[in-house]
């Protein structure tokens, strides 16, 4: 168990800089998820923590000790790879106890450690098998077992669930979370899947194009995204964005969507009348109610729990996740009312929250 501190870390491959000064503080025992679209630098950052990539500039410290120049084996970390990286010529038990074998541990110690980890992960019956004889989910567990046997200061996970089918992914998600609650070891977990991030993390780090966009607890990021990128990245279906202008002339504030329609605003930021902005509202915060803004239905997608209605509002399409069961039809007009408590306003140029 250890805190991990990342200070102004940069990474360049040749002349191309892929991380532009990243600062993250991870507390002892915390489950931190690095999330972002592919190419945002999250995996590179994880590999730098592991020591598999060099640090171009800045500092990475684990448990208060700068590790920039330490080889991976001296960092006291364990990593679970996306394709598991199990040794194909070793049995499950040998895979899990390999680190102990390298240290010259006795046969008994290795056996004890392997069966201990296998017990935690429900692999007890598979210890003699080889990786090729296991299913994807079982391989994933062995990879985790190998990490557990190490009893490291920090666990690193690099997209560990991407190769599993959807159902298995959901159950492994809760298993990993339960594992963390049991072991209480610091975890840094990389994924591109925002649902994994939301469900598992104590703290989410949203990355984009080599910079950290926002750090915070999952719901904090969901409720108060700092910018357009975070707002659009978290949540599915994603937040609706409407371009327009703030109108705060009279006693109540309004937002004039480019192309005509008007939407209500709870309050307008000071001296913002006439300011161009982006109006953000999540699909679940759009209701269909009398007196709302008139919109024309373009597409209807029932998901079971709710019905996703895509409707044209001004120049933009918005999605409303409606809980009311009603036969909506394309071409029909419905009134849409935003939940005023959940309206987000962003600056149109910088994308920052207003």
Partner 1 sequence: MQTRRDAAILWLFLILPVGYMVAFVGYPVVYNLVMSVQDVTLGNLATWDRPFVGLGNYVELIANERFRLVVRNSVIFVTVNVVLQIAFGLAIALYFENRFPGARYMRGLFLAAWMLPPLVIGALWKWMYAADYGLINYVLESIGLSDGPIYWLSNPDIVLAAVIAANIWFGTPFIMLLLSAGIANIPRELYEAASLDGAGAIQRFRFVTLPMLKATLLAVACLATVYTMRAFDLIWALSQGGPIDASNVLPLYSYQLSFEQFRFGGGSAVATFSFVVVFIVALLYVRTIRHEKAM
Q: Which residues of the chain form contacts with partner 1 (CB under 8 A)?
A: 50-52, 71-73, 77-79, 81, 83, 85-89, 98-99, 102-103, 132, 146, 150
Nearer to partner 1 among residue 79 and residue 207 (C-beta): 79
In the chain, DSSP assigns E strands to: 4-13, 16-26, 31-35, 57-62, 65-66, 77-80, 154-158, 186-191, 203-208, 211-216, 240-247, 254-257, 262-264, 276-281, 286-302, 307-313, 316-322, 333-338, 343-347
CB of 277 to partner 1, least distance (A): 46
The dihedrals phi and psi of 255, each to the nearest 5 degrees, come to -120, 125
Distance of CA 256 to the CA centre of its chain: 33
Residue 78 · residue 155 · CB < 8 Å = yes
Nearer to partner 1 among residue 103 and residue 167 (C-beta): 103
Q: How many CB atoms lie within 10 A of CB 84?
A: 20
Nearer to partner 1 among residue 132 and residue 167 (C-beta): 132
CB of 75 to partner 1, least distance (A): 8
Nearer to partner 1 among residue 99 and residue 227 (C-beta): 99
CB of 132 to partner 1, least distance (A): 7
Nearer to partner 1 among residue 77 and residue 230 (C-beta): 77
Nearer to partner 1 among residue 77 and residue 221 (C-beta): 77
Nearer to partner 1 among residue 136 and residue 276 (C-beta): 136
Query: 304: Cβ–Cβ under 8 A, 6 or more apart, which residues?
Result: none
CB of 178 to partner 1, least distance (A): 24
Token code pair at residue 38:
């592919």
Q: At what angle do helices 136-150 and 107-121 cross, to 10 degrees?
A: 130
Q: Give the SS3 label for residue 258.
A: coil
DSSP states of 108-144: HHHHHHHHHHHHHHT-GGGTT--GGGS-HHHHHHHHH
The dihedrals phi and psi of 227, each to the nearest 5 degrees, come to -155, 175
CB of 141 to partner 1, least distance (A): 15
CB of 214 to partner 1, least distance (A): 30
Nearer to partner 1 among residue 101 and residue 182 (C-beta): 101
Of 42, 24, 343, 20, whose CA–CA distance to 190 is shortest?
Answer: 42
The dihedrals phi and psi of 13, each to the nearest 5 degrees, come to -105, 110
CB of 253 to partner 1, least distance (A): 55
CB of 24 to partner 1, least distance (A): 21
């Amino acid at each position: 168990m250890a805190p991990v501190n990342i200070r102004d870390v940069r990474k360049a491959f040749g002349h191309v800089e892929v991380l532009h000064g990243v600062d993250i503080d991870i507390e002892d025992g915390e489950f931190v998820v690095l999330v972002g679209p592919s190419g945002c630098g999250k995996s590179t950052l994880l590999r730098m923590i592991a020591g598999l990539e060099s640090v171009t500039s800045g500092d990475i410290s684990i448990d208060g000790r700068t590790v920039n120049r330490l080889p991976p084996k001296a960092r006291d970390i364990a990593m679970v790879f996306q394709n598991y990286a199990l040794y194909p010529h070793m049995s499950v038990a040998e895979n899990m106890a390999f680190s102990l074998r390298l240290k010259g541990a006795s046969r008994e110690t290795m056996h004890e450690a392997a069966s201990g980890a296998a017990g935690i992960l429900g692999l007890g019956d598979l210890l003699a098998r080889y990786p090729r004889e296991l299913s994807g989910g079982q391989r994933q567990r062995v990879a985790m077992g190998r990490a557990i046997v190490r009893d490291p200061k920090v666990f690193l996970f690099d997209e560990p669930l991407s190769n599993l089918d959807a159902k298995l992914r959901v159950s492994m998600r809760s298993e990993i979370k339960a594992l963390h609650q049991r072991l209480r070891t610091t975890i840094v977990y990389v994924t591109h899947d925002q649902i994994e991030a939301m469900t598992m993390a104590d703290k989410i780090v949203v990355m984009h194009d080599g910079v950290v966009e926002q750090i915070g607890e999952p719901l904090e990021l969901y409720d108060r995204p700092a910018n357009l990128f975070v707002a659009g990245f978290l949540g599915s279906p994603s937040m609706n964005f409407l371009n327009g202008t703030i109108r705060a002339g009279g006693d109540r504030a309004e937002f004039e969507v480019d192309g005509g329609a008007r939407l209500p605003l709870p309050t307008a930021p000071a001296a913002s009348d006439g300011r161009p902005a982006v109006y953000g509202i999540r699909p679940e915060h759009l209701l269909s109610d009398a007196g709302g803004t008139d919109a024309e239905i373009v597409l209807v997608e029932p998901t079971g729990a709710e019905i996703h209605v895509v409707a044209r509002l001004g120049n933009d399409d918005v999605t409303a996740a409606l809980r009311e069961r009603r036969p909506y039809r394309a071409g029909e007009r419905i009134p849409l009312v935003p939940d005023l408590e959940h309206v987000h306003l962003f600056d149109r140029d910088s994308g920052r929250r207003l």
